[in-house]
Structure 1
Amino acid sequence: MSADFPFLSEAFERLDLADHVRALIAQRHGEPQRHYHTLRHIDLMLGQLPANHAFAREMLVAALFHDIVYNPTQPDNEEQSLAIFLSVAGTIARDAPLDADLISAMILATKSHHFRSEHTAGDRAINALLKADLSILWHPEPQVYAWYAEGVRQEYAFVPDDQFRAARTRILTGLRNDLLGSGQLTMDEAAALTRNTDRELGRLG
């Protein structure tokens, strides 16, 4: 795993996760309905998180668990993912306790991806996690973005093409507008976001 997913392996070691928790994360993210929401997504996301933040370890845990339940036909994936995190929270980082309430808030925040006003370090940590979760949208390599876009389509293969195109266009446009207005992106990130989404929206018609 270390060669394919270096940031994931580093997170496992930094958190000193028990073998059964590592196996749970790997097993869940290898389920057959997943094409984008896989260990590769988690590894890419982990690579975008700030390493020296006061809540860096909480962000790692939230990233590992935020998609541990993923069923595109159900509306409560984040709530179910939170329940699984809470079921094993007592086994994680026992020598240096984590802020479980903040991790819970982070996991639930990935449902809407609404950035917060940054009044506290916790707010900034939640925003950093959300930005990392969405960072595929401004990935600099076109083939990586294409893998993401195709993966999302495969995960929603049960949706007819015309319905998918309409829904995906609405969702992608909304995400782009929210991100461009959020103040969270650098100029280069905003340019890459626009370039990637313009390309996908053009294909969607």
Structure 2
Amino acid sequence: MSDPASEPQGRLPETALASLPLSLQAEQRAALEAAYATPTRAYHNIGHVAEVLRHYADVAAGPGWRQPREVALAALYHDAIYDAGRRDNEARSALLARDHIARWLAGEGIDADRVAELIELTARHGAIARDDVDEETRLFLDGDMAILGAEPSAFDAYDRGIAAEYRGHVPGPLFRLNRRRFLKALLKRERIFLSDHYHQRFDAAARNNLRRAITTKR
């Protein structure tokens, strides 16, 4: 398997594709990568998708997935449409996933409604209670938010990336105020991660990262 660092920029690493329980046609892969290339993104890019797929593979090797293909597709498409500040990114990403499933995976028995549901739920990070969703959904959503519990350097790069994406869309002082409120709200939650799998692995590190980030957003 290839080294992700050797992959052309904007391409899904072969290592990430190897974790998928389905094959992407060349045209589908190209269309997906093109979607993530626009607009230019500092965080919600193909690298983020590769990281979510790494967590997907970790869960596949542990607790397992009930609908592995649907979850994999949701991971692939969950940020395919992303314009900082817009409220319909997730809904538009879900529509793109449906279109690509119909175009390239017709007849494969993919539950497109489930794929779209998972993608649309990512719009509610930080507002979903553990009992609101099933365990598979908890694991999927936590994989998208696992960056909160990453090594400090990786978390800081994520935090800078979010700020860069909003630059030019939201005035700096307002962004920092809203970002700080969001991070504080996460920190106040009894559980940052919905699943036990992620809670046990990342809660302590996530709280340390959040506390540190909050103190810098004045």
Equivalent position of 2:9 in the other structure: none
Asked if structure 1 preserves the Cα contact closer than 8 Å seen for 2:52 and 2:143, the reply is yes
CA distance in 2, matches of 1:163, 1:153: 11
**What are the ranges of 5 or more consecutive residues in structure 2 without an aligned counterpart?**
5-12
TM-score normalised by structure 1 residue count: 0.87
Asked if structure 1 preserves the Cα contact closer than 8 Å seen for 2:22 and 2:69, the reply is yes
1:166-181 aligned within 5 A: 166-178=177-189, 180=191
CA distance in 2, matches of 1:176, 1:201: 10
Equivalent position of 1:103 in the other structure: 115
2:131 is equivalent to residue 117 of structure 1: yes
Equivalent position of 2:7 in the other structure: none
Asked if structure 2 preserves the Cα contact closer than 8 Å seen for 1:71 and 1:77, the reply is yes
Query: Deviation at 1:22?
Result: 0.4
Displaced runs of 4 or more, over 6 A: none
The residue identity in structure 1 corresponding to 2:44 is H
2:137 is equivalent to residue 126 of structure 1: yes
1:1-205 aligned within 5 A: 2-4=2-4, 5-11=13-19, 14-49=21-56, 50-51=59-60, 52-93=64-105, 96-113=108-125, 114-117=128-131, 123-139=134-150, 141-158=151-168, 159-178=170-189, 180=191, 184=195, 185-205=198-218
CA distance in 2, matches of 1:160, 1:145: 23
Of the two structures, which has the highest relative contact order with CA contacts closer than 8 Å and spacing of 6 or more? 1
> Does the C-alpha gap of structure 1 residues 182 and 36 become closer, same or farther in structure 2, counting only changes over 3 Å?
closer
CA distance in 1, matches of 2:34, 2:47: 13
CA distance in 2, matches of 1:176, 1:134: 13
Percent identity between the two aligned chains: 28
The residue identity in structure 2 corresponding to 1:86 is R
The residue identity in structure 1 corresponding to 2:179 is R
> Does the C-alpha gap of structure 1 residues 111 and 118 become closer, same or farther in structure 2, counting only changes over 3 Å?
closer
Q: After superposing the two structures, state which structure 1 stretch, 101-110 or 1-10, moved more.
A: 1-10
Asked if structure 1 preserves the Cα contact closer than 8 Å seen for 2:192 and 2:203, the reply is no
3-state SS of paired residue (1:87): helix
CA deviations on 1:146-185 (whole Å, 9 max, x unpaired) are 1100100000112222111110001111223336266534
Question: How many residues are matched?
Answer: 200
